[in-house]
Structure 1
Amino acid sequence: MFTKKDVQPLYDENGQLHGVYIKAAIWFKHESQLEAVLFPDEVARSKESKPMAEPIADWEQFLSYWDFNYPMEKVVKCDNCGANTHDWTIDDPKKFTLKAANLGGLVSFKCNHCNYRVSKKHFKDHICYECTPFGCQVK
């Protein structure tokens, strides 16, 4: 639950309201609703455009060069909302959308339930999962 302390009005030197600061947690929790209010034209245009196709060719190239010390798995799990699948390629409806795959072992997905980014970093002997708000850079 958020309080009024989580939303701060910002005033200029003349005491005029210049803007409002909200905590990132509020933004990430209500991002789609806030964007619909703040950027209605942009949201409408984005709904009209076709969604980007998944980079399946990149995924297939990643598989063709597979040489890790463990069997290939298609498990994806979101630590934010708990969505998970044993095979993201066969889900109907899709729980996760492939966003990127590369030969370095990074495969990332968008969770279709909460819009978080789920990254699977394939190392030689293990997989590391990271779950971050979409568009947020991990440091």
Structure 2
Amino acid sequence: MTTKQVQPLYNQAGQLQGVFIPAEIWFKHENNLEKILFPEAVSQPEIPAEPINDWKQFLSFWDFNYPVEKGVKCDHCGCSTPDWTADDPKRFLLKAASLGGMVSFLCLECQYRVTKKHFKDHVVYECTPFTCRV
């Protein structure tokens, strides 16, 4: 790119009004330029609501032989947290919690499902890829 390709545009009073950028430059850098020029237009994906009431109900019936553990780890990508409830930004999204002891999360890093199966004396982790069931 040369400076001759980018041309300033002035009004009659000599004030800079804009800049002309050739189409080939715009198309080559369009995504990056839009993020820089219009950051408010770049939307962040919304994190859906978590079933927190299910989690609270799971905790209210807790009768396992070990303390509540809020840590979550993804064996696929290695993402982990000591407390998923305190993460900012979130690393894991609570997808389900049942009184039977199964709690599942979506890893926001790789989109794998991380399931914690709580048994009386231990927890088993399972990490599975996302599958869309139709």
TM-score, with structure 1 as normaliser: 0.61
Higher relative helix content: 1
Partner of 1:114: 110
> CA 1:80 to 1:122, structure 2 compared with 1: closer, same or farther past 3 Å?
same
Q: Structure 2: how far apart are the matches of 1:104 and 1:136?
A: 24
C-alpha distance in 1, partners of 2:48/2:91?
A: 16
Query: How many pairs are equivalent?
Result: 91
Match of 1:56 among 52, 55, 58: 52
The equivalent of 1:105 in structure 2 is: 101
The structural deviation recorded for 1:134 is 1.2
- Whether 1:96 aligns to 2:92 is yes
Q: Distance in 1 between matches of 2:71 and 2:132?
A: 23
Partner residue in 2 for 1:72: 68
Deviations 1:10-67 (A, max 9, x none): xxxxxxxxxxxxxxxxxxxxxxxxxxxxxxxxxxxxx9x9653100000000000000
| Cα distance change on mapping 1:114 and 1:50 into 2, 3 Å | closer
Point out the structure with max Rg over C-alpha: 2
In structure 1, the residue corresponding to 2:56 is in which secondary structure?
helix
SS at match of 1:114: coil
In angstroms, what is the RMSD of aligned CA positions?
A: 2.1
* Partner residue, 1:125: 121
Q: Which runs of 5+ in 2 are unaligned?
A: 1-42
Q: Which amino acid aligns with 1:122?
A: H
Task: Please state whether the residue corresponding to 1:59 is helix, strand or coil.
Answer: helix
TM-score relative to the length of structure 2: 0.63
Q: Report percent identity of matched pairs.
A: 69
SS for the counterpart of 1:125 is: coil
